[in-house]
């Protein structure tokens, strides 16, 4: 008993800190050049709001000095928490690591490259406080290269169509969410790369908030090759069975052509009295293709079901966690 009484008391910091109202989640990959400034400006802005908050830095397996900066920040600034993934898993799994640790009623996501301006935080937070489930950042005068904005436009168009939600900027990662909008889809975030599209496709209400956007000091972490994969990911993720549509289309077109060629063959046969073997052979080939198309559509349905089940694997493994 005496031992227990003299045992060192745990640091009072967490026990005494009020529960955060706002959680800011920042995924980072090799951002040693900007992380310190991003956090300094975000902390100053959030402090000025006068609400309890936390800032969660998720280091997505950086190979530069990013984690050392995160460790320093955690030691110096009580609202900062940090988690480091074992390797580079990608921005969206990193986002999941942060979101699943966030305890605020309002959760804001932000990039660490200073393209987003931390001073815009109050606008997003106010929009969620005003009753929206999602405050969707819309980059005004986007300062990115043509090679970066063109794929974005394509992806935006696809997501508007597939989700049925008409917002301008699905790709902007600077957004605020109410906790109740995030929680139902938390298990899928990270598996799908567009968190905002995922939350909105689950029926959350949205207001758009205009944000300033700065050029990036160094290059985007996304190469053109990664962007093509991203577009494919959107197709596979938000348009679940393209293979099914392709199958139905092939089946229907070839089916109609089979009928047309068959009728044409019979007409030629009756009028000329000569059996048009080649024409009927063509019709047969088209008929087989039509059946193949419908089989492809069926396979698409099976694959869709298997995909939904299989995606239960762990998204990432944690290396260290500080708070
Ligand atoms: N990021 C990450 N993991 C990655 C790639 C990027 O955590 O594998 C982070 C990156 O550090 C930044 C944010 O995700 O904070 C957005 O990345 P970037 O600015 O390169 O993307 P873009 O602005 O071109 O969409
Ligand atoms: Mg950026």
91: domain CATH number?
3.90.550.10
Q: Looking at the structure, do residues 53 and 109 belong to the same domain, yes or no?
A: yes
Quick check: 144 and 68 in contact, CB under 8 A?
A: no
Backbone φ and ψ of 80, nearest 5°: -90, 130
Q: Looking at the structure, do residues 150 and 298 belong to the same domain, yes or no?
A: no
> For 168, which DSSP code?
S
Centroid of ligand 2 to alpha carbon of 49 (angstroms): 25
Domain that holds residue 114: 22-222+314-322
Q: Looking at the structure, do residues 149 and 297 belong to the same domain, yes or no?
A: no
Centroid of ligand 1 to alpha carbon of 270 (angstroms): 69
Residue 15 lies in a domain: no
Centroid of ligand 2 to alpha carbon of 30 (angstroms): 12
Residue 278 lies in a domain: yes
**Number of structural domains in the chain:** 2
User: What torsion, rounded to 10 degrees, do the Cα atoms 55, 60, 140, 143 define?
Assistant: 130
Residue 1 pLDDT: 36
Q: Looking at the structure, do residues 286 and 150 belong to the same domain, yes or no?
A: no
Instruction: Give the distance, in angstroms, between the CA of residue 138 and the centroid of all CA atoms in the same chain.
Output: 16
Q: Looking at the structure, do residues 295 and 318 belong to the same domain, yes or no?
A: no
128 class by beta-carbon count within 10 Å (0-12 exposed, 13-18 middle, 19+ buried): buried
Q: Looking at the structure, do residues 76 and 119 belong to the same domain, yes or no?
A: yes
Q: Looking at the structure, do residues 208 and 78 belong to the same domain, yes or no?
A: yes
pLDDT per position in the chain (323 positions), as tens? 333 444 444 444 444 567 899 999 999 999 999 999 999 999 999 999 999 999 999 999 999 999 999 999 999 999 999 999 999 999 999 999 999 999 999 999 999 999 989 999 999 999 999 999 999 999 887 777 777 778 788 888 989 988 889 999 998 999 999 999 998 888 888 777 789 998 898 888 999 999 988 887 776 667 777 778 778 878 777 775 678 888 999 999 999 999 999 999 999 999 998 899 999 999 999 999 999 999 998 888 888 777 766 665 445 446 678 88
As given in the structure block, the two tokens for residue 65 are 């000095």
The strands making up 80-85's β-sheet, listed across from edge to edge, are 206-212, 134-140, 175-178, 106-109, 22-28, 53-59, 80-85, 318-322
| Contacts of 152 by beta carbon, 8 Å cutoff, 6+ apart | 144, 171
Residue 6 lies in a domain: no
State the pTM of this model.
Answer: 0.76
**Closest ligand, as measured to the CA of 219:** 1
Q: Looking at the structure, do residues 129 and 213 belong to the same domain, yes or no?
A: yes
Quick check: 258 and 286 in contact, CB under 8 A?
A: yes
**Closest ligand, as measured to the CA of 26:** 1
Residue 112 lies in a domain: yes
Q: Looking at the structure, do residues 34 and 122 belong to the same domain, yes or no?
A: yes
Q: Looking at the structure, do residues 184 and 262 belong to the same domain, yes or no?
A: no
Residue 313 pLDDT: 43
Q: State the DSSP H helix or E strand holding residue 186, giving kind and residue range, or none if neither.
A: none
Residue 235 lies in a domain: no
Residue 147 lies in a domain: yes
Residue 1 lies in a domain: no
Q: Looking at the structure, do residues 302 and 318 belong to the same domain, yes or no?
A: no
Centroid of ligand 2 to alpha carbon of 126 (angstroms): 23
Q: Looking at the structure, do residues 159 and 254 belong to the same domain, yes or no?
A: no
Ligand 1 binding residues, C-beta < 6 A: 27-29, 31, 60, 88, 90-91, 94, 111-113, 115, 148, 173, 220-222
Residue 300 lies in a domain: yes
């Amino acid at each position: 008993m005496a031992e227990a009484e003299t045992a060192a008391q745990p640091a009072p910091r967490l026990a005494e800190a009020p529960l955060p109202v706002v959680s800011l989640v920042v995924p980072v990959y090799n951002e040693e050049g900007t992380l310190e400034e991003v956090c300094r400006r975000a902390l100053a802005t959030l402090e000025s709001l006068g609400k309890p908050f936390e800032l969660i830095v998720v280091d997505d397996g950086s190979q530069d000095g990013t984690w050392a900066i995160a460790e320093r920040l955690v030691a110096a600034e009580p609202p900062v928490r940090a988690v480091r993934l074992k390797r580079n898993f990608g921005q969206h799994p990193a986002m999941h690591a942060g979101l699943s640790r966030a305890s605020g009623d309002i959760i804001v996501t932000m990039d660490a490259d200073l393209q987003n301006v931390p001073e815009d935080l109050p606008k997003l937070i106010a929009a969620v406080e005003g009753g929206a489930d999602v405050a969707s950042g819309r980059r005004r005068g986007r300062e990115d290269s043509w090679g970066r904005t063109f794929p974005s436009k394509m992806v935006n168009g696809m997501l508007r169509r597939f989700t049925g939600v008409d917002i301008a900027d699905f790709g902007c990662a600077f957004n605020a969410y109410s906790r109740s909008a995030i929680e139902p889809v938390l298990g899928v975030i990270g598996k799908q790369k567009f968190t905002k599209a995922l939350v909105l496709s689950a029926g959350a209400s949205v207001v758009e908030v205009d944000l300033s956007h700065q050029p990036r000091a160094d290059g985007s972490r996304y190469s053109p090759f990664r962007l093509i994969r991203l577009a494919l990911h959107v197709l596979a993720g938000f348009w679940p069975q393209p293979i099914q549509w392709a199958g139905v289309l092939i089946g229907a077109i070839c089916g109609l052509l089979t009928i047309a060629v068959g009728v044409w063959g019979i007409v030629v046969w009756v009028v000329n009295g000569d059996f048009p073997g080649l024409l009927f052979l063509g019709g047969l080939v088209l008929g087989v293709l039509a059946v193949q198309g419908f089989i492809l559509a069926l396979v698409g349905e099976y694959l869709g079901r298997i995909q939904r089940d299989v995606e239960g694997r762990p998204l990432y493994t944690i290396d260290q966690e500080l708070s």
